[in-house]
Amino acid sequence: MFNDEKNTVSYDDTFLLFNGHEGLVIPYADLKVGDEIAEAVLRYYAAPAAEKSERLADFSYRELCLALDNLYGQKESHDITDFNSFFEEAGLADELKSTDSIISDKALEKVIYYFLDDQHTVFNSHSPLGETYEYMQDRGFSTRAFDQNKELYQTAKENAPREIVDYEEVGNTAFVTFNGFYEDPGRNIYEADLLQENADEEKSGQGDEHPYYDTFSFIAWVHAQITRENSPVENVVLDLSMNTGGELGAAAYVTAWMLGECTVNVKSILTGASSSVLYTADVNLDKKTDEKDTVSDRNLFCLISPVSFSAANTVASALKASGHVTMLGGRTCGGSSAVTSMSTAYGSLFQLSSTFRMSTVKNGSFYDIDQGVEPDYLIMDPDHFYDRDALAEYINQLY
């Protein structure tokens, strides 16, 4: 994708930017509109403020239509046949074709936040051709509902009878809680002293914000606690109630830990191709995978809510489909599409729900999981999610 002498290409979840002299690789998750990183990227990528040529404006509009027609994974669910017609019907075509990059960027924000309105599709940064402006603060109804639910459950969590920590045992029930799936590519957990690191973390009082935090380390440490000699743990509760997603590899690791193995099912709505990949996990860090790497012999539960999104929705879907995990709470928020990074031809950056959809498989057929996962036992009051004593008592009544 080209911007006169500048050009931008994107690959999966990473932006690759080139300013004519040097390249910059940055994950889309690090680009949030108006923050310091986004503005630093714009300074790096800076071009003299100028209007687009008529030719560039026309090319950029056509390229945007082409890209969204082929690469936006939720087009069908939005009843969009083609984006050129959609832009015209929405009254945004002329703005998107504007030679003023601020006008076209603001129009693109409206498309993303008012009309597409899914949490995976985000406007990351305005074009370096335009001056910094005040980004749109308002959101569509779906995003508003998600934000309201997140605030509601966060308040309930903060007002719990006692502090909600990342790992807690209540009698015979272990609660495993974290808000996202993370991995540290530079970390070798086989060489780490997880027991000592966790002890140091408990002393620091940082809760689930471990300075060394990554899902692999956390689950390996948790597994050691649950399977220790004379462990009282009979029930394991995976709390995804405030988990908004993250890295798929880390999510697969957690699922394999719970079930003994994890199957990730993906279907491309662009090509119709589908694939299933089986994962196992070395959780006890003995460099082999076997029955000692899972808690599948315990009574398994998963706590979900309308905040459980993206990779959390994928994990919840796999656990539900297994038939071996009891789902508690409220219906998940959904989020089936992997995220892809995009750029306009004139340099503004955004991400969108791609054509690769996480799915469940039944009788050989792939089914999209964007509608979310229903609990087996509904919990209406968010406050009841975080009363660990009452929840442990309730769980023991189910068995």
**pTM to 2 decimals?**
0.85
Contact (CB, 8 A) for 375 and 240: no
**Residue type present at position 303:** L
Q: Which superfamily, per CATH, for 143-335+372-398?
A: 2-enoyl-CoA Hydratase; Chain A, domain 1 (3.90.226.10)
Could you write out the three-class secondary structure of the chain? CEECCEEEEEECCEEEEECCCCEEEEEHHHCCCCCHHHHHHHHHCCCCCCCCCHHHHHHHHHHHHHHHHHHCCCCCCCCCCCHHHHHHHCCCHHHHCCCCHHHHHHHHHHHHHHHHCCCCCEEEECCCCCCCCCCCCCCCHHHHHHHHHHHHHHHHHHCCCCCCCCEEEECCEEEEECCCECCCCCCCHHHCCHHHHHHHHHHHCCCCCCCCCCHHHHHHHHHHHHCCCCCCCCEEEEECCCCCCECHHHHHHHHHHHHCCEEEEEEECCCCCEEEEEECCCCCCCCCCCHHHCCCCCEEEEEECCCCECHHHHHHHHHHHHCCEEEEECCCCECCEEEEEEECCCCCEEEEEEEEEEEEEECCEEEECCCCCCCCEECCCHHHHCCHHHHHHHHHHHC
Residues of the chain with CATH 3.90.226.10: 143-335+372-398
Position 136 scores a pLDDT of 87
Query: Are residues 14 and 25 in contact, defined by beta-carbon separation less than 8 angstroms?
Result: yes
Dist. CA 111–CA 116, nearest whole Å: 6
What distance in Å separates the CA atoms of residue 197 and residue 287, rounded to the nearest whole number? 21
The whole-number pLDDT of residue 12 equals 47
Q: What angle do CA 296, 302, 303 make, to 5 degrees?
A: 160
Residues 360, 227: Cα–Cα separation, whole Å: 30
pLDDT < 50 stretches in the chain? 1-12, 203-212
Which burial class, exposed, middle or buried, applies to 158 when counting CB atoms under 10 A from its CB (0-12, 13-18, 19+)?
Answer: exposed
Q: Compute CA 93 distance to the chain's CA centroid, rounded to the nearest angstrom.
A: 30
Per-residue model confidence (pLDDT) at position 212 = 43
Phi, psi of 69 (to 5 degrees): -60, -35
User: What is the per-residue pLDDT for 244?
Assistant: 93
